[in-house]
Structure 1
Amino acid sequence: MQIPFIAPTADAALSQILQDAINNKTKPLGSLGRLEELAAQLGLIQRSTRISIEQPAILVFAGDHGVVAEGVSAYPQDVTWQMVENFLADGAAINVFARQNGCALHVIDAGVNHDFGPRAGLVDRKVARGTRNFALEAAMSPQELDTALEHGMALVRDLSGNVVGFGEMGIGNTTAAAALMHKLTRLPLSQCVGAGTGLSSEGIARKQQVIAAAINKHAGAASPLEVLATFGGFEIAMMVGAMLKAAEQRKVLLIDGFIVTSALLVAVRLQPAILDYCVFAHCSDENGHRMMLENLGARPLLNLGLRLGEGTGSALALPLLHAAANFVNEMATFASASVSTSDQ
C-alpha cells in the first residue's frame, strides 16, 4: 500500500499576501475573528488569494462491527443498514442539511452486514459484511485494510470539487473509535469511552471493559496501520484513505465528529501535514471528542452539542467556508470604497 505524500501548506510569502488582503478589507483589524483565520487557511490550501468553494461533497461511509456481539451498543446492528436505507430515501438529518447547503451527498457501503443489491444513490465498495469481533481477533486482515484504503482513495480521486466533508454510520463504531483513540493518543481509556448511541452508565462500563480486554489481547498492535486493522472498521479505514487522497489533491477536508476524527488520528500518524488541510467542523458531545481535538491541536468552528454523526457537523459548517471565501473575494478594500483607515 502506497501512502500518499502530503505537502505542508506553509508559504511565508503567500501568508503575508493573504493577511494583507484580509487586513485591507473595510473592517477593523481582526474583527471577523475565526473567519479571517479560515480564509487564510483556505488560501494556503488553494495557493491563491482568490478562494473558491467548488462542488462541495460529503461522503458518508457505512460499515458494521463484529464487536457489537459483546453488548457495546444500545442499538442492534440492523440499525446500520436501516439508516443506510433512510439516507437513500432522503430522510436523514444529513440529507436535510446537505440539501439545504447545496452539497452533494455520496453514501458508501464500506462493509454493511446486509445485501442492498444495486441501488440508485448507493456506492457499493463493500469489503466484507462487517468486521470481525476485535474482542476475539483482529477486526480486519491486512488485505482487507489495503482494500478499504484503496477504495477510499479512489472515491476521492473521482470527485471534481475542492471540498470534501466526511461522515459515517455504523452501530458499534464509537467502540472502535475509542479503542483507536486510546491506542494512538495514550490518553486514559476512561477519557475515550462514551455513551455512543445512548448507553447507560452500566453500558459504558461494559464497553470500557471490552475495549480494555481487547487492548491487552492485541498488545502487539503498535503502528498506525496495525492499530487500524486490529480495532477499526471498514468505514473508518475507507475514510483514512479518502482523507489522505483528498489532502494530496489539495482539497479542503471538513472533519465531523468523534468517529471521523478517529480516522483522522490514523491519517495524521501517517502524514502529519494532513492537518494543514483540515477544517474541524464542530466539537461533538460524545465523550472523548474534545480530548481528541486537543490532542490534534484543533479548534472546531461550532459547538452545538451534536452527537449524531452522519457528517451533519460537516454540512452545518459549510456555510462558514462560503462566508470566509466570499468576504475575501467580494468585500471592498479601504481604497476601493474610499474609506479612511485607522490611525493606529
Structure 2
Amino acid sequence: MAAALRSEASQDNIAGPSPNILLADCGLFEPAPPAEGWLDRRIARGTRDFLQFPAMRPGEIERAFAVGLDLAVECASQGIRRAAAALVGKGASLTADVSACVHTGLPVEKIVDETSGVGGTTLYARRQAVGKPLFYYDLAANDPPRALEYLGGYESAALVGFIIGCAAESIAVTLDGWPALSGALWAAQWAPASRPFLRIAAPLSVSGYPPVRELLGSAPVLAQAECRLPGAAGLRALCAHAS
C-alpha cells in the first residue's frame, strides 16, 4: 500500500515541500531492500490464489487490518491531516473487479469489459476469473471481514484499516486508482462513518467507476491531467486537494 501524507502545517501550500511518501510492504513474495519511506509490514509471502482457496489464512485478515490502522494512528500522532492512498499488488485489479461486482450487484460483464484494458480471449479469461469467487464463495457486501479473507490481498485489508483509522482521527483520504477506489467500498460498508473522509483522486475510464463512485458518494478532486503529473508533483496535487 502506498500513502502520501501531508501535515497541517503544509497542507495549503501545493508548491511547498513534497508530502511524506510511505510504501507499506504487506506481503511481497520476496522482501525488498531497505529504502527511505519503505515499511516492512509483511504478513506472509503473498496470499493464496483465491481461485483455488480463500486468499488469507486464519488470523491474517486481522493482522493486515492492523497494519493500516497502526499507520493511521501514527499519522495522527505526527499531525498528518491529509493522505492519498493507492494499492499495488499482483492481483489488485482482479480483486477490485470482484469487489465492485459484490457491492454494485452488477454482472461481471458490466464491470469487466474492454475498458479494463483487455480484449478477446484475455477478456474472457478475466471475466471467468472474476466470476469464479462470486459463484463459489457467496460473498456479501455486509460482511467485509469474511469477503476480504476470501479475496485478499493483504494490501486491500490494510487499506480498509487505514481508511477506518484515518476517519477516526479526522484525516481525509484521497483514493488513487481502481484498486484503491473499489477496496474503499469495504471500509465504507464496515464503518459508514468513514464515508465523509473519502475522496476520489480523478475520474477513471473503467466501466465500474460510475456505480462505485455513486456508492462512495464522492466526486473527483482532480482532473485526469493533474493526476498524471510526474512523481511528487502529482502527489502534492492529491494531498493539496484532499480537503
Shorter chain as denominator, the TM-score bin is 0.7 to 0.9
How far is the alpha carbon of 1:196 from its aligned partner? 8.4
Q: Match of 1:121?
A: 37
1-structure distance, mates of 2:88, 2:199: 21
2-structure distance, mates of 1:312, 1:267: 28
The AA in structure 1 aligned to 2:56 is M
Distance 1:317 1:195, change over 3 A: farther
Q: Match of 1:316?
A: 237
The AA in structure 2 aligned to 1:193 is V
In structure 2, the residue corresponding to 1:108 is in which secondary structure? strand
Distance 1:219 1:234, change over 3 A: same
Q: Match of 1:74?
A: none
In structure 2, the residue corresponding to 1:162 is in which secondary structure? strand
In structure 2, the residue corresponding to 1:169 is in which secondary structure? coil
How does 1:83-122 map onto structure 2 within 5 Å? 102-122=18-38
The AA in structure 1 aligned to 2:31 is D
How does 1:217-256 map onto structure 2 within 5 Å? 217-219=136-138, 223-256=143-176
Moved over 6 A (4+): 98-101, 310-313
How does 1:1-344 map onto structure 2 within 5 Å? 53-54=8-9, 102-159=18-75, 160=78, 161-194=80-113, 198-219=117-138, 223-304=143-224, 315-321=236-242
In structure 1, the residue corresponding to 2:21 is in which secondary structure? strand
Query: Would the aligned equivalents of 1:151 and 1:241 in 2 still touch at CA under 8 Å?
Result: yes
Query: Would the aligned equivalents of 1:240 and 1:267 in 2 still touch at CA under 8 Å?
Result: yes
The AA in structure 2 aligned to 1:125 is R
2-structure distance, mates of 1:268, 1:282: 19
How far is the alpha carbon of 1:195 from its aligned partner? 6.1
Query: Would the aligned equivalents of 2:115 and 2:205 in 1 still touch at CA under 8 Å?
Result: no
Distance 1:140 1:122, change over 3 A: same
Which string of whole-angstrom CA distances, capped at 9 and with x for unpartnered residues, describes residues 203-259 of structure 1?
A: 122111112122111126661111111113111110110110000001111122211
Which string of whole-angstrom CA distances, capped at 9 and with x for unpartnered residues, describes residues 43-102 of structure 1?
A: xxxxxxxxx84456xxxxxxxxxxxxxxxxxxxxxxxxxxxxxxxxxxxxxxxxx99862
Identity %, equivalent residues: 25
How far is the alpha carbon of 1:271 from its aligned partner? 1.1
Query: Would the aligned equivalents of 2:61 and 2:154 in 1 still touch at CA under 8 Å?
Result: yes
2-structure distance, mates of 1:100, 1:319: 10
2-structure distance, mates of 1:173, 1:261: 11
Distance 1:229 1:318, change over 3 A: same
1-structure distance, mates of 2:217, 2:105: 15
2-structure distance, mates of 1:154, 1:183: 28
Distance 1:287 1:128, change over 3 A: farther
**Bigger Cα displacement from structure 2, 129-138 vs 190-199:** 190-199
How far is the alpha carbon of 1:288 from its aligned partner? 1.2
Which string of whole-angstrom CA distances, capped at 9 and with x for unpartnered residues, describes residues 143-167 of structure 1?
A: 1110000111111211221111101
Distance 1:217 1:100, change over 3 A: farther
In structure 2, the residue corresponding to 1:158 is in which secondary structure? helix
2-structure distance, mates of 1:311, 1:286: 25
2-structure distance, mates of 1:312, 1:209: 38
The AA in structure 2 aligned to 1:317 is L
Q: CA RMSD in A?
A: 3.0
